[in-house]
Structure 1
Amino acid sequence: MKWLAPLLLAFVAQPLAAQEAAVTSPYADRQLEDPAQEAAARDLMHSLRCITCQSQSIADSDAPMAADMRSLVRERIAEGQSPDEIRDWLVERYGAYVTFEPELDTTTWPLFAGPLLILLAVGGLAWSRIRRKGRG
């Protein structure tokens, strides 16, 4: 029975240990000194999806993962990389889902073809019903 109290204490303390650490990314909330670089970084941040939130851009999210990604974008922009290079690297690392504007490739073609196929199917059904009513 003596072992029960430490075990219960460990279970109670577990949520406290799971708290997220403070943001330690150097450029998460600090702007770049060059206004042109900061503008490029901000434009890119608004086009990237937060992996944690999934419905917010990394510019709008308060999640630690978004802070890390903001810092990464600013650091790479400051190093001279282009926004396209950074976006490509993030897509390679996290997949096409990381961007709000996925490019057409072998994994994203259903996103582009699906609505067109649905529209064609609905149009075909409507056409067949109209022709059937015209005959009857």
Structure 2
Amino acid sequence: MIHSALKRFVCLIILSFSCSSFAVIELLEFDTEVEKERYQTLIDELRCPKCQNQNLADSDSQIAIDLRQKVRDLMDQGKNDEEIKSHLVARYGDFVLYRPEVKEVTYLLWYGPAVFLFIGFIVVVVVLRRNKQDSSDDKEASLSEEERQERIRQLMNKNSEK
């Protein structure tokens, strides 16, 4: 029984490693090293619409493969980087860019973190000031030893009367 389970486990491990060998490997050839670097920079800056948190270079999804080919085709047509990005934004929206342009629909994306950081700073300052006031009020309200003894006597007298 244990021997059979061990055989199944080993087979499962071998199969899991063999699946990675089916991954798509793209072999693109470029005329110059500059072209290759430009292509690599573009696919690093463009986000996969399906994976959402991977760039085109890292994604193995079919749409990423198609978009890498589209980028290559647009480069072969003589389009510059901005034209390529504009073409993809027109089709997939600003989401395809890791660094979208600053415009009305992306204000929250660009300025939101700074606004939240500022609000957080204001909250911290208000809380610290309030705590400082509370601690100073506590010091003023603290009783001397004699006053405390007198207060204890008053409380004891009230309790004994009941």
TM (norm. structure 2) is 0.61
CA distance in 2, matches of 1:117, 1:107: 16
Moved over 3 A (4+): none
Conserved 8 A contact 1:45-1:58: yes
SS of structure 1 residue aligned to 2:118: helix
Instruction: For 1:66 and 1:73, locate their aligned partners in 2 and report how far apart those are by CA, in whole Å.
Output: 10
Partner of 1:40 in structure 2? 38
Residue-by-residue CA offset, 1:24-63 (whole Å, 9 max, x unaligned): xxxx642322322221111101111111212211112111
Q: Greater CA radius of gyration, 1 or 2?
A: 2
Structure 2 residue runs without a partner (length 5+): 1-25, 135-162
Identity between Structure 1 and Structure 2 (%): 31
- CA-based RMSD of the aligned residues comes to 1.6
Q: Distance in 1 between matches of 2:27 and 2:50?
A: 18
Mark the runs of 5 or more structure 1 residues left unpaired by the alignment. 1-27
Contact 1:41/1:83 (CA < 8 Å) preserved in 2? no
After TM superposition, the score normalised by the length of structure 1 is 0.72
Greater helix fraction, Structure 1 or Structure 2: 2
Distance 2:122 2:52 in 1: 35
- Relative contact order: is structure 1 or structure 2 higher (C-alpha 8 Å, sep ≥ 6)? 1
Q: How many residues align?
A: 109
SS at match of 1:80: coil
Aligned residue identity for 1:100: Y
